[in-house]
A and B are shown apart, each in its own frame.
Chain A
Amino acid sequence: MRATAVRNGLSPVPAPMDSIVEVRGVSKTYGNVEALRGIDLDFPRGKLTSLLGPSGCGKTTLLKIIAGLIAADAGTVDIDGKRVSAPGPERAFVFQDFALMPWATVTRNVAFGLELRGANKTEREEIARHYIGEVGLAGFEDKYPHELSGGMRQRVGLARALSVDADVLLLDEPFSAVDEQNRRKFQEDLIRLRTNQNKTFIFVTHSIEEAVYISDRIVLLSPRPGRISQIIEPDIDRSGDPERIHRDKHYLDTVEEIWQGLKQYVE
Chain B
Amino acid sequence: MTLFGYRVPMMASLLVWCVVWEIVGRLDLVFLLPPFSDVLAAAFDLVQTPSWQSATVTTLRAFVIGMALAIVVGVPLGILMGRVKIADDLLGMWVNIFSSAPLSAIVPVLMILFGFGEKTIVAAVFLFAIWIIVLDTRAGVRHISPSLIEMARSYGASRRALYFKIILWAALPEILAGVRLGLIRGVKGVVIGQLLVAIVGYGALFETFSRNFRMAEFWALTILLFAFALVVAELIEKAEAKVEFYAGARQ
Contact = CB atoms under 8 A, between A and B. Distances in A.
Interface of A: 64, 67-69, 87-89, 91-93, 95-99, 101-103, 112-113, 115-117, 144-146, 160, 164, 177
10 contacts: A68-B154, A95-B147, A96-B147, A99-B148, A102-B247, A103-B169, A116-B157, A116-B165, A145-B246, A146-B248
Contact of B153 (A69, A144, A177): A69
B155 A67 contact: no
A202 to B, nearest CB: 13
Given A95-B150, A99-B145, A144-B245, A87 B156 contact: yes
Given A97-B147, A102-B250, 17 more contacts: A67-B154, A91-B154, A95-B147, A97-B145, A97-B251, A99-B145, A103-B169, A103-B170, A113-B155, A116-B157, A116-B158, A144-B246, A144-B249, A145-B246, A146-B245, A146-B246, A177-B251
Contact of B243 (A89, A103, A112): A103
Main SS class of interface, B? helix
B161 interface: yes
Contact of A101 (B150, B153, B166): B166
A115 B162 CA distance: 12
Contacts, number: 71
A97 B251 CA distance: 8
B156 A69 contact: no
Contacts of A145: 246, 249
B123 interface: no
A87 B161 CA distance: 15
Interface string B227-247: 000000000000000010111
Contacts of B245: 102, 144, 146
B151 interface: yes
Contacts of B166: 101
B172 interface: yes
Contact of A95 (B151, B157, B169, B248): B151
Nearest to A69: B150
Contacts of A99: 145, 147-148, 150-151
A165 B82 CA distance: 34
A87 B246 contact: no
B152 interface: yes
A248 to B, nearest CB: 34
B42 to A, nearest CB: 47
Nearest to A148: B249
Nearest to B247: A102
Nearest to B151: A99
Nearest to A112: B155
Contacts of B148: 99, 101
A17 B60 CA distance: 74
A92 B150 CA distance: 11
Interface in B195-251: 243, 245-251
Interface in B130-188: 145, 147-148, 150-158, 161, 165-166, 169-170, 172
